[in-house]
Amino acid sequence: MSLREKNEVRVKMRGESPYGGEVKKMKEEHMKGRLLRGFCSAMRSKMDSGVLISVFICSIALVTVSAAPASESFNVSDAKGGSNSDNTPSSGMRAEPRQWEAFARTTALGSSGMSGYRGNLTMQEVDTGFRKRFIINSQLELSTGLHYSLRNIDAPREALLPTVLHRVAMDMHGSYRLNDKLTLGLMVSPGLSSDFKVITSSDIRVPVGLSTNYHVSPRITLMGGFMYVIGNSELPLLPIIGAMYQPSEKWSLALAFPRTGVMFKPNKATEYYLGAEFNAGEYQLHNSTLKADIISYRDFRAVVGTKWALLPSVELGVAAGYAFSRKFVFRDSSRDDIDANDAPFGRVELKFLW
């Protein structure tokens, strides 16, 4: 009797099916399909914007769920030869990028005055999401995920500002290393940005970004590219330009737009950073009492913070800073724009990697 036949006899004696693994896998796929169909049905029942938006959101869920099984064919160790597109301060804490990453971040901006209005303005921001990396080979890396952001605004009633603004989007990234010197990057993030009073096709915004990293030397990298937001009325095109310098394993300096800063990593578990960033967002409005169809918010921020690796798979970040040049811009309206005074802010972030 062959070894395979012996194994089948042993499985049958235990009362199990030799095809149990396949049956279990089919059940899991069936359950995923039921959950996906239920999600799409719930979204359709709550949104009164028609078939177009329902199909859009269901497509996001479908791509995310169907992409998960493909990760079984990739090896994380292949990332050693690939490029890491994560340039946040926490990216240096690990030698290899993890396949899965999830995060939650909240930012609270302090009370400040507004030009032309009595009373104060306060804002809170919440960002959460996840992404999955696919290491194709030593040259090509892809990733996909979902991202949700919330902007809560507390302002004087006469300012006629929305109280809540939302964005939900699918993030797709790709980087290709042509050679030891040159790496190309592509980002596409279709999503919905509005007050979500109702949802229509006018809420769709699609940021598209192209970038190039040129390694002048092991310590110096030049960056260039652009970000174009399809559907945006305010600032649809932004440049990506800058340089990074790493004099040692502990220090990194970046002079770039829209983010720049200095990072110090005394050990593998801790990082400190000081920097500046440009922050902007545009949203569709569906409230006639606000007397505008589109609102944009933008500011510049100086920030200082630190990040700790609490566990091999958990990172905690704490930061504080100052927001200035703050402005609300209205489109398709006769309203004047609103300037907000400078304000301090605090930020807390939790990230999971596995």
Give domain limits for the chain: 75-353
Choose among 175, 258, 174, 255: nearest CA to 220. 255
Amino acid at 323: A
Nearest C-alpha neighbor of 318 from the set 330, 302, 308, 306: 306
Of 78-87, 119-128, 131-140, the one with minimum mean pLDDT is 78-87
Average pLDDT estimate for 225-233: 94
Q: Mean pLDDT, to the nearest integer, of 321-343?
A: 94
pLDDT at 99 over 60: yes
CA–CA gap between residue 259 and residue 223 (Å, rounded):
12
- H-run or E-run covering 60: helix 51-67
- Tokens 């040049």 locate to 325
Return the number of other C-beta atoms located less than 10 Å from residue 182's C-beta: 12
Which of 19-23, 253-257, 312-316, 334-338 has the weakest average pLDDT? 19-23
Identify any residues that bridge with 185 across adjacent strands, giving them in sequence order. 175, 211
Among the four given CATH numbers 1.10.443.10, 2.40.160.40, 3.40.190.10, 1.10.287.130, the one describing domain 75-353: 2.40.160.40
Per-residue confidence (pLDDT) for residue 34, from 0 to 100: 52
In this predicted structure, which of 61-65, 84-88, 181-185 has the lowest mean pLDDT?
61-65
Mean pLDDT score, 308-319: 96
In one-letter notation, the amino acid at residue 204 is I
Rounded to an integer, what distance in angstroms lies between the CA atom of residue 43 and that of residue 255? 43
Q: Is the dihedral of CA 46, 124, 229, 337 positive or negative?
A: positive
Confidence class of residue 334 from pLDDT cuts 50, 70 and 90?
Answer: confident
Q: Residue 44: pLDDT above 60?
A: no
Percentage of residues in the chain having pLDDT higher than 70: 73
pLDDT: is 21 or 229 the higher one?
Answer: 229
Tokens linked to 83: 């490029």
| Alpha carbon distance 100, 89 (integer Å) | 18
For tokens 């109280």, what's the residue?
A: 163
Q: Report whether pLDDT(308) > 70.
A: yes
Residues of 4-22 as b/e, b for ≥16 C-beta within 10 angstroms?
A: eeeeeeeeeeeeeeeeeee
What pLDDT score does 270 carry?
Answer: 96
Q: Are strands 259-267 and 140-154 parallel, antiparallel or unpaired?
A: unpaired
What's the whole-number mean pLDDT along residues 181-185? 97
CA terminus-to-terminus distance, the chain: 43
